[in-house]
Structure 1
Amino acid sequence: MARTSLAALFAGCLAATAPALAQQQQHGGHAQHGTPAPGDTEATRGYRAAADAMHRDMTAPYTNDVDVDFLRGMIPHHRGAIAMAKVALAHSKDPEIRRLAEGIVRAQEGEIAAMEALLKRRGAP
Structure 2
Amino acid sequence: MTALIGKVRRPGLAAAAFGARLLLAFAVPSLLLAHESHPVESHPTALNADESAFLKENDAAMTKMMNDMAVKPTGDIDRDFVAMMNPHHQGAIDMAVIELRYGKNEQLRRIAQEIIVDQTQEIAAMKLAIGEPVTDTAPAPTQPQLVPPAQDHHSDMQLNMPAGTKH
Q: Report the TM-score when normalising by structure 2.
A: 0.47
After superposition, residues 1-125 of structure 1 pair within 5 angstroms as 41-120=52-131
The structure whose Rg is larger is: 2
> 1:118 Cα deviation (Å)?
2.2
Whole-angstrom CA distance in 1 between matches of 2:125 and 2:94? 18
Runs of 4+ in 1 over 2 A off after TM superposition: 118-121
Larger helix fraction of residues:
1
> 1:119 Cα deviation (Å)?
2.9
> 1:99 Cα deviation (Å)?
0.5
The share of aligned pairs that are identical, in percent, is 37
Gaps of 5+ in 2: 1-45, 133-167
> 1:120 Cα deviation (Å)?
2.7
Q: Structure 1, residues 66-105: CA drift from partner, whole Å, max 9, x if none?
A: 2111111000000000000000000001001000000000
Whole-angstrom CA distance in 1 between matches of 2:130 and 2:67? 20
Q: Secondary structure at the match of 1:63?
A: coil
Gaps of 5+ in 1: 1-37
Count of paired positions: 84
Whole-angstrom CA distance in 2 between matches of 1:87 and 1:55? 17
Q: Report the TM-score when normalising by structure 1.
A: 0.62
- If asked which structure has higher relative contact order (CA below 8 Å, sep 6+), I would say 1
For 1:6, the equivalent position in structure 2 comes to: none
| C-alpha RMSD of the superposition | 1.7
